[in-house]
Amino acid sequence: MMAARDALQAKLEDGIGALGLDLPTAAVPRLLDYQALLERWNAAYNLTAVRDPAEMIIRHLLDSLAILPHVQGSSLADLGTGPGLPGVVLAIAAPGREVLLVDSNGKKVRFLREAIRSLKLKGVRAEQSRVEDVKGQFDCITARAFASLADMLGWGGHLLAADGVWLAMKGKRPDDELPGIPPGFAVRSTHELAVPGLSAERHLLVLGRA
């Protein structure tokens, strides 16, 4: 098992280096603990279609870490977080902000609560809810391809603080979705993300209040 973990750690560290990130000392082992927990629960609960540990490093951990330079503020809500992507990864990589993980799926929220407990994630909580029912205001909102921009902002726009940023993670550039952005919101920037080891297209749209 240790040899397998060493290989995963090397892959993760190489990817973090390729992304140009400087993470806290404890982040890498905790990210690997999270991946191991996800792999273990996934066998019983089917939380993600990605089964291979090395693929989890790329498609879950590094994919989530790719947006870290754009995360800002003292509070973050991750909408449609699933098993904690990117919310748990960002909470480990950049601790110190209040993080709310939102998902309507009970199994996923049970996993998130176990992850928060066993990884001792301070300031992180999980809520089983539909996005439109969540209360509060957040400096940063993340959403990983869980809906169209129109739906994301329609359901969750009320959660974005006045000067907050909304980080929408997408595959292909969602040019066809831009006309559907609700009034009161605007795209501030678009970034093509190069996720180490991933050949698929990844884009990040940074939105804010207009």
Q: Indicate if the pLDDT at residue 146 is higher than 90.
A: no
3-state SS, residue 51: coil
Question: What's residue 2's pLDDT?
Answer: 79
Of 5, 8, 83, the C-alpha closest to 44 is 83
Q: Give the domain CATH number at 19.
A: 3.40.50.150
Give me the chain's average pLDDT, please: 97
What percentage of the chain has pLDDT greater than the value 70?
100
Model confidence over 17-72: pLDDT tens digits? 999 999 999 999 999 999 999 999 999 999 999 999 999 999 999 999 999 999 99
Range of the domain at 28: 2-209
Q: Rounded CA gap, 103 and 85, in Å? A: 11
* Mean pLDDT, range 144-161, rounded to an integer: 94
Q: Indicate if the pLDDT at residue 145 is higher than 90.
A: no
Number of compact structural domains in the chain = 1
E-strand ranges in the chain read 75-79, 98-103, 124-128, 138-144, 160-170, 185-192, 203-209
Question: What's residue 83's pLDDT?
Answer: 98
Question: What's residue 188's pLDDT?
Answer: 98
Q: Rounded CA gap, 44 and 30, in Å? A: 22
